Amino acid sequence: MMSGGSGASGGIGAIREHYTPLPAGTVLWHVYPSKFKPHAFNPDSRNRFALVPPPDQAMFYAGDCSACGLWEAVLRNLVVDEKQPQHVDPAIVKGRSIAQLKLLQEVLVLDLRSPHFRNLSVSAERHTEWQRLCIVPERYYDLTHAAARELVTAAPRAAGLSWHSRQMSAQTAYVFYTPPLKPPAEFEVIDAIELDRPAGWALIDEALEGVGVERMGSSALVKGIVDELPSDEFDGG
């Protein structure tokens, strides 16, 4: 952990300049439109904790595992049926990909996860508000934008924020900003997978399995993947 100055306005609600380093080599998963590069930042994002102009900045969202990235970006509005297996609309993945990336250097973030947010303020009111902003629905995202601007103003070396994913509370979601980051030099792309291809659907099925959802057609997909393997790569014995 790294601490700097006293942060924003004084008093009980002051924000401390306290950074959490993400080490080089940290692996992240990022969902993005396939027409863009996997390490491209989005200047038009207005998602949770985006920094809206002025000044102009761009955002890059990621999860700490593939399931987190998929639930945050693709499966967030999925209604789970009582009866399984269930239909999952292919339109949710059309033109989208998921990338596995690795940080090439240490990056400083502000950690809004409990109990880590206690390093950022002594104010219980702030703690409660940050917890609320991490789970508010989209119609309240403007409140998260204001909070993100206040946080990075108090801690100007922060390259992003981290919080407990709303969709997978045991996992961590991230947003990174440029500036101060300078893409694409920050990331190494390990793999990029189109979500509407068999390998992409296989990752989605893994994410769904965690909540007991079986996608209609998933068994056929597994059989299709196995059938595509050379005979010497699959031994059923």
Over 50: is that where the pLDDT of 235 sits?
no
- Reported as type and span, the H/E element at residue 28 is strand 27-33
Amino acid in position 147: A
* pLDDT range class, residue 11, cuts 50, 70, 90: very low
Contact yes or no for 66/72 (Cβ under 8 A):
no
Task: For 205-214, write each residue's pLDDT tens digit.
Answer: 999 999 999 9
Distance CA 89, CA 92 (A): 6
Looking at 3.90.175, 3.30.379, 3.40.1000, 1.20.120, the CATH number of the domain 2-233 comes to 3.90.175
pLDDT computed for residue 8 by the predictor: 47
Q: pTM, whole model, 2 decimals?
A: 0.88
Specify the 3-state DSSP secondary structure of 207: helix
pLDDT at position 234, please?
Answer: 38
Would strands 58-63 and 107-111 be described as parallel, antiparallel, or unpaired? unpaired
Helical ranges in the chain per DSSP H: 66-73, 124-133, 141-154, 198-209, 218-228
Task: Categorize the per-residue pLDDT at 184 as very low, low, confident or very high, splitting at 50, 70 and 90.
Answer: confident
pLDDT band at 183 (very low <50, low <70, confident <90, very high): confident
What pLDDT, in 10s, does the model give residues 144-159? 999 999 999 999 999 9
DSSP 119-169: GT-S-HHHHHHHHHHTT--GGGHHHHHHHHHHHHHHSTT--EEEEE-SSST
Asked if 151 contacts 119 with a C-beta cutoff of 8 angstroms, the reply is: no
CA distance 96 to 231: 31
In sequence order, the 6+-apart residues with CB closer than 8 A to the CB of 27 are 64, 100, 101, 102, 190
Going by the DSSP 8-state scheme, the letter that residue 84 receives in this structure is S
Average model confidence (pLDDT) across the chain = 90
Domain segments of the chain as ranges: 2-233
Decide: 145 and 50 in contact? Cβ < 8 Å: yes
pLDDT tens digits along 32-79: 999 999 999 999 999 999 999 999 899 999 999 999 999 999 999 999
Nearest to 201, CA basis, from 218, 213, 216: 218
